[in-house]
Amino acid sequence: MPILTIRGLNKFWDTAHVVRDLELETREGEFIALLGPSGCGKSTTLRLIAGLEEASSGEILLDGRDIAALPSAKRGISMVFQSYALFPHLTVGENITFGLSVRGESRKVQAEKLARVAPLLGLQALLDRRPSQLSGGQQQRVALGRALIAESPICLLDEPLSNLDASLRAEMRNEIRSLQRRLGITMIFVTHDQTEAMSMADRVALLREGRIEQFDTPEMLYSRPASTFVARFIGAPAMNVIEAAVFDACGMNVPRSSLVGLRPEDLYPVERGLPGRVVQIEYFGADSILSVDLGVTQCAVRLQGRPSTEIGTTLHLGWDADAFHLFDAETGLRQDITVPQPKWTELQPA
């Protein structure tokens, strides 16, 4: 059963159309990532759901009731801000129970709920400290605690990990994910980091210029990108998007109205395949990224370890049939037509 449904959501800033006809549906207990480059409207979308901005048009249904016109406090939504937005003059405990306190809950109830939430986040020993005496990770936990104590059905997180250093980020990634699973709350989080989105989310909504480009599981986003934009956004390095004419060189007849998508990790050297000249090799230890010049364009190839190939040599590239993606050259949308693939196995040395 969907817990949050967004229909036809639009937001204008003066004349700028920042959220365009957004449609989104999340099930209970799902972990959703809003992913996209900066300026794609993902943070605005989150603020529209929270009620911190007013939608220009559209419906936001939470558990079946339309909350789009309600003030943010009445929506039953909690939020973790990018800067954590902790009250500097209050202790950790007071910060977490702030919402309960302004809503007039008794001190007894506040203390009980605090005693339940604090251990979840390992904050028991820090309750009397002030935010300025905490590390970034601890502040993050306090912000989470304040969001969780209200027991709202949905928790929004705005770039929750962007203020942490790399090692802490990995730790908090796991922690937030396991907390979400354990408590079974629905979480929607905004990020511009595809690794965060891919590794944490059940489903990822990839936004571009205020529209959802694709809303799917990380696996589908990776293996069946809906457009060249998705193909280029997911994966590091990004999927190679190559003109059809290039494939004449290996005897393939690709329709000229199409673009071909091939992931760097799906390409491997064969004896006779798509020829190209190696122009650069970047060695990363476990793998290397080769830049191969295909004539009109370059493509990236990921190979295990350090390849024996040297710069300037010609490399023949092959791929498996299911690694071959086709997109419309005009619209950039995925095409589900099959093109007969060469048989690399016959060409490979015995």
Partner 1 sequence: MKVSRNFIISMFLLFPAAVLLIAFTFYPTVATLIDSFFSTPRGRRPAAFVGLGNFERMAADPVFHRAFFNNLIYAAVTIPVSMGLALAMALLVNSRIKGRGFVRLAYFTPTILPMIAVANIWMFFYAPDYGLIDQFLGLFGLGGTNWLGQSGTALWALIAITIWKLAGFFMIFYLAALQQIPPSLLEAATLEGANYLQRLRRVVLPLLMPTTLFILINAVIEAFRLVDHVIALTRGGPNNSTQLLLHYIYQVAFNFWDTAYAAALSVVLLSILALIALIQFGFLDKRIHYR
- Least Å from the CB of residue 81 to partner 1: 5
**Among 265, 205, 269, residue whose Cα is nearest residue 236:** 265
**How far is it, in rounded angstroms, from Cα 264 to Cα 239?**
6
Measured in degrees and rounded to the nearest 5, phi and psi for residue 44 equal -60, -40
Q: How many CB atoms lie within 10 A of CB 324?
A: 17
- Least Å from the CB of residue 175 to partner 1: 21
- Least Å from the CB of residue 8 to partner 1: 24
Task: Choose the stretch contacting partner 1; rule: CB under 8 A; options: 11-19, 26-34, 94-102, 315-323.
Answer: 94-102
- Least Å from the CB of residue 123 to partner 1: 17
Map residues 147-176 to x or -, x wherever contact with partner 1 holds by CB under 8 A. ---x--------------------------
Structure tokens at 277: 């000249």
Map residues 12-51 to x or -, x wherever contact with partner 1 holds by CB under 8 A. --------------------------------------xx
- Least Å from the CB of residue 16 to partner 1: 19
Q: Give the bridge partners for 304, in sequence order.
A: 287
Would you call 85 exposed, middle or buried from its count of C-beta atoms within 10 A (0-12, 13-18, 19+)?
middle
Q: In the set 7, 20, 129, 130, which binds partner 1 (CB under 8 A)?
A: 130
Q: Indicate whether 52 belongs to the interface with partner 1 (CB under 8 A).
A: yes
Please check whether residue 140 is in contact with residue 172, taking contact to mean a CB–CB distance below 8 angstroms.
yes
C-alpha distances in Å from residue 350, one per residue of 304, 309, 313, 323, 344: 21, 20, 22, 23, 12
Please check whether residue 209 is in contact with residue 20, taking contact to mean a CB–CB distance below 8 angstroms.
yes
Please check whether residue 190 is in contact with residue 162, taking contact to mean a CB–CB distance below 8 angstroms.
no
Task: Choose the stretch contacting partner 1; rule: CB under 8 A; options: 21-29, 71-79, 273-281, 323-331.
Answer: 71-79
**Which residues 73-92 are close enough to bind partner 1 by CB under 8 A?**
73, 77-79, 81-83, 85, 87-89
Residue whose CB is less far from partner 1, 95 or 227: 95
Please list the helix, strand and coil fractions of the chain in percent, rounded to the nearest 5, in that order.
Answer: 30, 35, 35
Q: Indicate whether 210 belongs to the interface with partner 1 (CB under 8 A).
A: no
- Least Å from the CB of residue 6 to partner 1: 18
Strands 16-27 and 2-13: antiparallel
The count of residues interacting with partner 1 (CB under 8 A) is 24
Q: In the set 141, 146, 173, 208, which binds partner 1 (CB under 8 A)?
A: 146
Q: Which residues in this chain contact partner 1 in the complex, by CB under 8 A?
A: 50-52, 71-73, 77-79, 81-83, 85, 87-89, 98-99, 102-103, 130, 132, 146, 150
